[in-house]
Structure 1
Amino acid sequence: MHPPEIRARARRLYLCGATVAEAARAVGVSYPTVRQWCKVRPEPKQQGTESRCFRCRSDVDNPTDPAQYAYLLGLYLGDGHLVTTARVPVLRVSCADAWPGLIAACEQAMRNVLAGAVQRVRHQGCVVVQSYGKHWPCLLPQHGPGKKHERRIVLADWQRTIVERHPGDILRGLFHSDGCRFANRVVVRGKEYVYPRYMFTNESADIMASASGVSTCSASPGG
């Protein structure tokens, strides 16, 4: 017998948009068992993500946690991918195994921005943090066919407002996905100086330009 919380988690993932196979992998239970849990005597459907999508609500103009949205946007523009061809759209962000704190931060950002259920799918050398939700396309309008660096990436006016108010958070997301920090050592007149240096690389000229603009805004007086 499987613990009730395992069954509840599998059914919750399925009701939030995951397939039976994906729910089975997430909880480590056989496909037939999870299929029976999900298909036989299903629980009432949970309230959809529309109530949590600030873009679809007439009474809300901004995300509940704009800083977390800016951070998640940075992660998405780096190592994220939004699949809209599935039965329910799924947002996926690849995170290196070497940085468990990043994995946890990505998962928490997805929960705070929209999702009720977030999965971790393990691959060699990385963990894909993913969340199903019909309203992810509303919050990430940069999605589209093909690779991000092969199409135009332009922030919507409402996204630009959020980014201008939280430049540090989107930069944090960008650097967590496609950047690095290291100790730069220089010797001046025989004395060694060590200071942190940040580098960010992305194949999209639009994303690189956006990162440069946000960085300038963040470094400006009062920013």
Structure 2
Amino acid sequence: MSGPSRTNKWRLAQEKIIKESEQNCMERVYSSIGNSSVTAIHQKLDNLSSRLSSLESNVANVLAVVKKLAVNSKFTASVEFPVENLSSLEEINKKVEEDSQRYVALLRSTLMPEGVIKNLGRVLSLSLIMDMNYGGTFSKKGLNSFESLNSALYEAVKRDGYTFDDYKRDVRLAFSKAKNKVYKRNTELNKQKQQQIETIFIKEDETEETITDEGVKKRKKKKTIT
């Protein structure tokens, strides 16, 4: 009994040692896997943090550019343009003289790409256009007398091969087109008014004729009865 008992004990001890060895190996494996996973996660977090920092920097740069663009945008231009009257035009001319580069950018964003022929009304109000022309002829105020603004307008629309004479021709044409639209519209309105007046007169005449005809009929009827 003592022999087999000792054998069993020995076998049990061996099994225990084997189990402990296996358990230790598994713990070491799990520990190794866990450490590598944590290291990989840390690396990914570091990369993500770096990317976020780069993104924040890019966003800051974009915002700075947007602010600069806002200063030279149509939204800023719309506050000062179109100019409504001559006194405001004189003030704008002084501002352009003090900061021509800024106003060239403003006018370029306002006029281009179509140019001054189509978009002069974005710079000068229609009432002001009607009171002006380019050269100051026919007792009109000339745009060319506002030298700083006039020069800025040319710089705003200037392109390769585009001369100052080309610019003057285009501005004169812009004045002419804008005024012709007003004249044409006024003519059409006057024509409509005239047609309305004639229609009223015709209706009045028809009413008078109807009343006269009825009076004649009544008199004839009385004579017949008599």
TM-score (norm 1): 0.20
Structure (1 or 2) with the greater helix fraction: 2
TM-score (norm 2): 0.20
Structure (1 or 2) with the greater strand fraction: 1
